[in-house]
Chains A and B, each alone.
Chain A
């Protein structure tokens, strides 16, 4: 029940295209859903996050779509750029508890020029 499942494992997109990464969770106590970006040899960095009281959040080229009834959420990267090539992790947390993050398995994105 603590798992967060992420797909696809890897993704190749042409420059200017849309990258879509999906995640699903089981624990209905989760109420905070961030996406992190990680470059090789670096720690994860927060991209964007959402709480379940909204169905969509947009920041620049990054959008989270959230479906509470399906217990799914996704990250859309519009106008993907080569600099977006990185590993992306979705995560979930029960903010009323310790707030520890449960991460998905990660998606390696390659944006081809």
Chain B
């Protein structure tokens, strides 16, 4: 499979619990993005990695959110002490070298916080 994969595809959790999502980018893509999409809206940028370095974080990414990309391969997004407002689709996208502009999106992880 040469596409971006995300796991799990769906997650239901209770308010206050921690959740972690995983993104596996297209192999050899050194650029990785996380976005959040709420119902009826366009995706909003959360954070950006170039290789293992996290180079930009949106102000949307509160202290409860943390993202990592160890060894510049897969990435994880953790949300601590989830709130109902965190319910959304979390999308991961990867991109190749600087001159390759296309971002390829994964299927997303749908989070529902009860």
Question: How many residues in A have their beta carbons less than 8 Å from beta carbons of B?
Answer: 24
Q: List chain A residues, Cβ under 8 A from B91.
A: 43-44
Which A30-84 residues sit within 8 Å CB-CB of chain B? 32, 34, 36, 41-46, 49
Contacting pair B42 A95 (CB below 8 A): no
> Which residue, of B42, B43, B102, has the highest number of chain A Cβ atoms within 10 A?
B42
Contacting pair A43 B45 (CB below 8 A): no
Selected contact of A102 from candidates B45, B102, B105, B108, CB within 8 Å: B45
Q: Is chain B's binding surface mostly helix, strand, loop or mixed?
A: strand
A32 vs B98: C-alpha distance when bound (angstroms):
13
Q: List chain B residues, Cβ under 8 A from A98.
A: 48, 50, 55-56
Residue of B at shortest CB range from A45? B105
A-B contact pairs, 7 of them (CB 8 A): A36-B105, A41-B107, A98-B50, A100-B45, A100-B48, A104-B42, A106-B42
Instruction: List A residues at the B interface (Cβ < 8 Å).
Output: 6, 32, 34, 36, 41-46, 49, 89, 91, 93, 95, 98-106
Instruction: List B residues at the A interface (Cβ < 8 Å).
Output: 4, 31, 33, 35, 40-45, 48, 50, 55-56, 91, 93, 95, 98, 101-108, 110
